[in-house]
Amino acid sequence: MGMFPDEKYVEDLRKRFPEGCRICLDYMGDDPRPIPPGTKGTVKHVDDIGTVHCDFDNGRRLGLVPGEDSFHRIKEKDRGDER
């Protein structure tokens, strides 16, 4: 994939994680202040290089990098897993 992802990859991410959808963090890659696994958050946007920016319920705001960080979309109303 090179240094920057292609537009199709980014568009696919935007479809999978649209603004306002809910996610649950499985684990963070190499971060000096990782957010704890199981923390839930709301997607704000996916930027042009494929970083998924989120506001987490614990007050943190962070961009997640698919492949480096692991997370999945959840259904907010029943807190179930959409995997």
**Across the strands, what pairs with 69?**
66
pTM for the whole thing? 0.85
- Does 16 have pLDDT greater than 50? yes
Domain 7-74 CATH (choose: 2.30.22.10, 2.40.37.10, 2.40.160.40, 2.30.30.40): 2.30.30.40
Question: 5 or 21, which is more confident?
Answer: 21
- Report domain extents, the chain: 7-74
Residues 6+ away with beta carbon under 8 Å from 4:
49
- What was the pLDDT predicted at 3? 64
More confident site: 51 or 77: 51
DSSP per-residue letters across the chain: --SS--HHHHHHHHHHS-TT-EEEEEE-SS-SSPPPTT-EEEEEEE-TT--EEEEETTS-EEEE-BTTBEEEEE-TTT--B--
